[in-house]
Amino acid sequence: MSGAASNAPAMASTIQYVEPDDPRLALLIARLPRRLRMATHWLRRPSSRWARIPAGLLLICGGLLSILPVLGLWMLPLGLALLAEDAPPLRRARGRVLDWIERRWPHLLR
């Protein structure tokens, strides 16, 4: 019984956050509100692949249905960014988009 209680703090300390492979992505994630930032860190962990891929696909489908009131085109790049964690061609495209953001809006990456 006391062993289960002592495992709770140990389990909480084993949560690891994956550092983005691109420091520009880390800067953009740091600008998010706290709850969204925590969800992003959780989704980017390697063990969250089972949730990341379906979430990315659902966001892309929602972006394609942007004519509906709740869904919007903003969902498409978000879904592609989630899938970029697992697909190298999308990772290269994400790098090009981050290059474009860095040139167009440099203040976002400060």
Q: Where are the domains of the chain?
A: 19-109
CB of 84 closer than 8 Å to CB of 91? yes
pLDDT tens column, 69-84: 777 888 888 889 889 9
pLDDT tens column, 6-18: 444 444 444 444 5
The DSSP symbol for 18 reads P
Q: Which residue has the tokens 């190298």?
A: 88
The structure tokens listed for 79 are 């879904």
Among 10, 19, 82, residue whose Cα is nearest residue 52: 82
Write b or e for each residue in 75-99: b if 16 or more Cβ atoms lie within 10 A of its Cβ, otherwise e: bbeebbbbbbbeeeebeeebeeebe
